[in-house]
Amino acid sequence: MRRTTLTAALSALVLSGTFAAAQQRGPGAGAPALYNTVKQKLAEGKQVVGGTITTSDPEVYCAMANSGFDFLWIEMQHSPLSYSETARMIWACRDAPAIPFIRVPDATEGDIQKATDVGALGIIVPMVDTVEKAKNAVLFAKYPPTGRRSQGSGQYSAIWPRGYRQTANDNIMIVAMIENPAGAEIADQIANVPGIDVVFVASSDLGSFSGRRQGDPQYEALVTRIKDATLKAGRKLGGPSAWKGTREGYSFFQAADAMTLLRNGARQSLTGQATGGQRGVAPIEGEER
């Protein structure tokens, strides 16, 4: 009798919670639910950092997703990763705190549609040096009436809260990467495209395309142009994690890839500089996290 009563009470609690969530997230319920914690943190004036994923190993992905990063920068421009592999990784750690962002190969409808369907809440677009490319990124990532994303099936519906169709447009972020002088020249126009959330200064390629290195006056003039245009437009400014704490105005950072972090961690371990435990006390297997 007692078990029956307890079960009924739990069922009522679950049903009431589900109903409340449906009310909150359903159409016409006022402000849409915000489950993209990266967007929320940026809106609160905080900085966010994302680790880079180039491997298809779900265990590596999960280790990164639970290590403290705000998001994961899943690299599909400069890696052989497929959308099937990316989907498996995201699904393997769908409850991890790090939000999945995907750098797509280009701002095409097919690439962006697949990225959102596998569950990405951030679309990172490389080589944005035309207003059209920035507009296309928003167009293909957002549902009507804002964009033209089609309503197909995908694992996004099993990862994100109920009412995804009504809340996706407010949770999916667009990051426009400026990587060459042509993009820097029209940084103000790119930053003012409705739907662009972050303008990212691609430090390496900006140097490659300009023929200048960081610290060179001409290089720094390009960086300043992008920075000023982005902040004036009210967008968030992104850059490499090495610039965190050394340059003002930046709030969105890309950290090293998993293999680099593994190599650095191995070196620290071999030199006795690894942190996280009491010196002289061996970690207990299975409790490292």
In whole angstroms, give the CA distance from residue 137 to residue 274: 41
pLDDT of residue 259: 85
How many separate domains does the chain show? Answer: 1
Is 283 a member of any domain? no
pLDDT of residue 188: 98
pLDDT tens digits for 100-156? 999 999 999 999 999 999 999 999 999 999 999 999 999 999 999 999 999 988 999
Is 85 a member of any domain? yes
Is 111 a member of any domain? yes
Is 278 a member of any domain? no
pLDDT of residue 129: 97
Is residue 7 scored above 50 in pLDDT? no
Phi then psi dihedrals of residue 239, to 5 deg: -170, 180
pLDDT of residue 267: 86
Overall average pLDDT of the 7-14 stretch: 36
Lowest-pLDDT range of 80-89, 130-139, 264-273: 264-273
pLDDT tens digits for 17-65? 333 333 333 333 444 589 999 999 999 999 999 999 999 999 999 999 9
Is residue 277 scored above 70 in pLDDT? no
pLDDT of residue 284: 53
pLDDT of residue 246: 95
pLDDT of residue 266: 86
Is residue 274 scored above 70 in pLDDT? no
pLDDT of residue 262: 83
Q: Which residue has the tokens 């009798």?
A: 1
pLDDT of residue 6: 34
Amino acid at 45: G
Is 139 a member of any domain? yes
pLDDT of residue 24: 36
Is 176 a member of any domain? yes
pLDDT of residue 14: 32
For residue 221, give its domain range.
Answer: 34-270
Q: In Å, how far are 115, 117, 164, 195 from 158, measured between CA atoms?
A: 15, 11, 10, 25
Q: Categorize the per-residue pLDDT at 264 as very low, low, confident or very high, splitting at 50, 70 and 90.
A: confident
CB 227 within 8 A of CB 249: yes
Task: Print burial letters for 260-272: b (CB count within 10 Å at least 16), e (below 16).
Answer: ebeeeeeeeeeee
pLDDT tens digits for 189-244? 999 999 999 999 999 999 999 999 999 999 999 999 999 999 999 999 999 999 99
Is residue 157 scored above 50 in pLDDT? yes
Question: What CATH code is carried by the domain that includes residue 74?
Answer: 3.20.20.60
Is 9 a member of any domain? no
Is 148 a member of any domain? yes
Is residue 1 scored above 80 in pLDDT? no
